[in-house]
Amino acid sequence: MTLNDLVLEFMASRLTGGLVIDVPDVTKAMLKAVRFYAGYAEVSYFFEQDPSVTPALTQLTDAVTLTTSEWAIIQPLFNAYADHENALRLEASRGLGVDVYGRSSSELSAEIKQLELDLPRKAFYQPFVGVGNLDIYAE
């Protein structure tokens, strides 16, 4: 799925959950999470385009597609980034008399820190290397 599709899916899933941020803010959270992931693993979309060119993260747009495996690793961090931005907006509205609901921004900051620490381990991939067809025992 493209990043845009995933953003729209997220927005639809939070229609009744009190989301106060809009699509551009959620898209920023998505791009931030994918950029963080790209620091530790290859985003396959770029290598499917032209494997000889090393991708620049400046090419990262909402048209980029993620594999199911990439999304499984990125999704928790993206959710935390989006929820953190939402919590910041809700806490800022406290001065207008709005009752704040959901997790606090400080609680989400702690979760983000932990997710960022765990992501390199989850994103690590080393392909298996075999020794091939060696006939070391043949005489």
Sign, Cα dihedral of 64, 33, 82, 73: positive
Return the top range by mean pLDDT from 31-40, 45-54, 87-96: 31-40
Q: What is the pLDDT of residues 93-132, one digit of tens each?
A: 877 777 778 788 999 999 999 999 999 999 987 777 776 6
For the chain, the structural domain boundaries read: 3-123
> Alpha helices of 39-67 — where are they, by DSSP H?
44-49
Q: How many helices (H) and strands (E) does the chain have?
A: 5, 0
- Report whether pLDDT(68) > 90: yes
pLDDT at position 9, please?
94
What DSSP designation does 65 have?
B
What DSSP designation does 102 have?
S
Contact 33, 74 (CB under 8 A): yes
Mean pLDDT calculated for residue range 49-78: 80
pLDDT at position 49, please?
61
Nearest-angstrom CA–CA distance, 118 and 19: 26
pLDDT at position 136, please?
58
The answer to whether the predicted template modeling score (pTM) of the entire model surpasses 0.85 is no
What DSSP designation does 88 have?
H
